[in-house]
């Protein structure tokens, strides 16, 4: 059976197909149809044609559709989690968590759709403006081209689709070709709603077919979650468009000497540096520990990482599964070898069997090592000590990335200083930078992107303000 893509809300076959294979054992998961260039053109034309109808949808229609999607995702949790594990290699415990987050994302979008009302602004603050009031509402900028990665094949698609539906913006999703099945199941569920079918297409196209869509003026908004290199290319290709990018990161966590439970902190850091084989842009990569506790904490972290269960992602007890493919494993191993060859100390790990890369901890990584200034996107952490909190802040900020950072401290003054000083989109106190609530603003500074996800924030990003001035009112 060849799985169809979704063209304007309808399951459709194109010409030719490609295979989706398990990152764990290489077994065939599915065969998926490829759209033709003409079908991609039809999707863009349909999104443009349905634009006015989508924008005019009553709030109750949009909210009801979002509620339905949330409910159906919850009902099909086990099925969809198994699909995520099969195509992505994500351990079952994390796959179920991802489905739960997508349920929450659509539920939040339904709530936000009901209160997306706008603002009133009195203008009679000057004599010449007596009797005037402004109504400020936000309207969709237009149809959206959403480009999503393999690491969260359901919830990162949800973070594009849910806000778009909430504001009445048609959307075309281009999922990662290694993991398209979760997005196609989501399209199937959206098709069950009363939304205009042409509001959503999910096209399993490659980069060559995507390029004309990136520059197509009928798709004025491009929302990308991916690498910083792809983000730069996209911005260069479409400088006239509204481009939202959530890109890479080498997330840092600071462990201060006032933190009372180093073992618990080490457990959280070790787990969330490796939890999806490290394939998370806010997974821990850089660990900064105060000199006074560095030796003790290092031992705790090694113990925590060596205690992680790695293996078959369908095993409900497995915490660390495979990386996405053999090429990724080879790259990660090469970066570790580069660091140790330049003087870094290997405290644990450093091995791989196929796509299973062992949880790895490096200390004293030199500045000229590849991993020192790049996102490893694998289960590899680096450990560095510092003497003062100011030094720790400077080390965090030395990165070209700035997505999120964590600080293990009990001091409110340190927490507020971190919030002020760290050049990142989010600071997590008392936990790892990997924490994300799907309703909070989420995005980065510097090479980590621009714009914000989180349902309400994304709704703002997909829309623009339009002012209506009323005159002659008895205010």
**Residue in the structure block whose two tokens are 């494993």:** 329
Helix axes 155-167, 92-114, angle to 10 degrees: 10
- The active-site residue out of 87, 112, 281, 453 is 281
- The active-site residue out of 87, 98, 112, 246 is 246
Helix axes 92-114, 59-75, angle to 10 degrees: 160
Whether 281 is catalytic is yes
How far is Cα 430 from Cα 161, in angstroms, rounded to an integer? 32
106 contacts 158 by C-beta, under 8 angstroms: yes
> Which residues are registered as beta bridge partners of 446?
401
How far is Cα 359 from Cα 349, in angstroms, rounded to an integer? 5
Which 3 state secondary structure label does DSSP give 370? helix
What six digits make up the tokens of 395? 């080390």
Nearest alpha-carbon partner for 26 in 358, 357, 330, 322: 322
Which residues, 6+ apart, have CB-to-CB distance to 301 below 8 Å? 266, 269, 270, 287, 347, 361, 381, 383
The DSSP annotation for 281-306 comes to: TTS--EEEEEGGGHHHHHHHHHHHHH
User: How deeply is 236 buried, as exposed, middle or buried, from its count of CB atoms within 10 A (0-12, 13-18, 19+)?
Assistant: exposed
How far is Cα 400 from Cα 448, in angstroms, rounded to an integer? 8
What six digits make up the tokens of 81? 């989690």
Q: In the sheet where 28-33 sits, what is the strand order? A: 2-3, 28-33, 17-21
Which 3 state secondary structure label does DSSP give 194? coil
What six digits make up the tokens of 44? 């863009």
Alpha helices in 238-324 (DSSP H): 262-274, 294-306
How far is Cα 460 from Cα 139, in angstroms, rounded to an integer? 9
Nearest alpha-carbon partner for 161 in 111, 200, 216: 200
227 contacts 30 by C-beta, under 8 angstroms: no
Whether 246 is catalytic is yes
User: What amino acid positions are annotated as catalytic residues?
Assistant: 246, 281
């Amino acid at each position: 059976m060849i799985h169809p893509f979704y063209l304007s809300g309808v399951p459709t076959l194109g010409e030719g197909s490609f295979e989706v294979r398990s990152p764990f054992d290489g077994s065939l998961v599915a065969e998926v149809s490829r759209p033709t260039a003409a079908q991609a053109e039809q999707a863009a034309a349909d999104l443009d044609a349905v634009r006015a109808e989508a924008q005019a949808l009553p709030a109750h229609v949009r909210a009801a559709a979002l509620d339905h999607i949330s409910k159906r995702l919850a009902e099909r949790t086990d099925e969809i989690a198994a699909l995520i594990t099969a195509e992505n290699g994500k351990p079952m415990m994390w796959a179920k968590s991802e489905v739960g987050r997508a349920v929450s994302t659509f539920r939040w979008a339904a709530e936000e759709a009901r209160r997306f009302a706008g603002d009133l602004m009195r203008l009679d603050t000057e004599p010449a403006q007596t009797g005037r009031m402004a109504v400020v509402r936000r309207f969709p900028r237009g149809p959206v081209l959403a480009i999503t990665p393999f690491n969260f094949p359901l919830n990162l698609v949800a973070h594009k689709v849910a806000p778009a539906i909430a504001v009445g913006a048609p959307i075309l999703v281009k999922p990662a070709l290694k993991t398209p099945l979760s997005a196609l199941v989501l399209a199937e569920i959206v098709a069950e709603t009363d939304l205009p079918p042409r509001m959503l297409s999910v096209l399993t196209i490659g980069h060559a077919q995507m390029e004309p869509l990136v520059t197509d003026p009928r798709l004025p908004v491009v929302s990308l979650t991916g690498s910083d290199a792809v983000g730069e290319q996209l911005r260069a290709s479409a400088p006239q468009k509204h481009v939202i990018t959530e890109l890479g990161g080498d997330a840092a966590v600071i462990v201060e000497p006032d933190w009372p439970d180093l073992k618990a902190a080490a457990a959280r850091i070790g787990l969330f540096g490796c939890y999806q084989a490290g394939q998370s842009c806010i997974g821990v990569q850089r660990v900064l520990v105060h000199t006074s506790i560095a030796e003790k904490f290092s031992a705790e972290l090694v113990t925590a990482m060596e205690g992680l269960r790695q293996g078959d992602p369908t095993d409900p007890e497995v915490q660390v599964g495979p990386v996405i493919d053999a090429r990724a494993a080879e790259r990660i191993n090469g970066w570790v070898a580069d660091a140790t060859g330049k003087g870094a100390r290997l405290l644990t790990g450093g091995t791989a069997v196929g796509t299973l890369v062992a949880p790895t901890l490096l200390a004293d990584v030199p500045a000229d090592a590849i991993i020192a200034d790049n996102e490893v996107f694998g289960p590899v952490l680096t450990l560095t000590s510092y003497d003062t909190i100011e030094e720790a802040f400077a080390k965090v900020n030395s990165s070209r990335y700035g997505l999120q950072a964590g600080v293990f401290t009990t001091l409110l003054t340190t927490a507020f200083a971190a919030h002020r000083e760290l050049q990142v989109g989010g600071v997590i106190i008392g936990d790892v930078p990997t924490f994300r609530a799907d309703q909070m603003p989420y995005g980065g500074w510097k090479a980590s992107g621009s714009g914000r996800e989180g349902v309400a924030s994304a709704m703002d990003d997909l829309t623009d303000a339009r002012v209506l001035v009323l005159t002659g009112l008895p205010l």
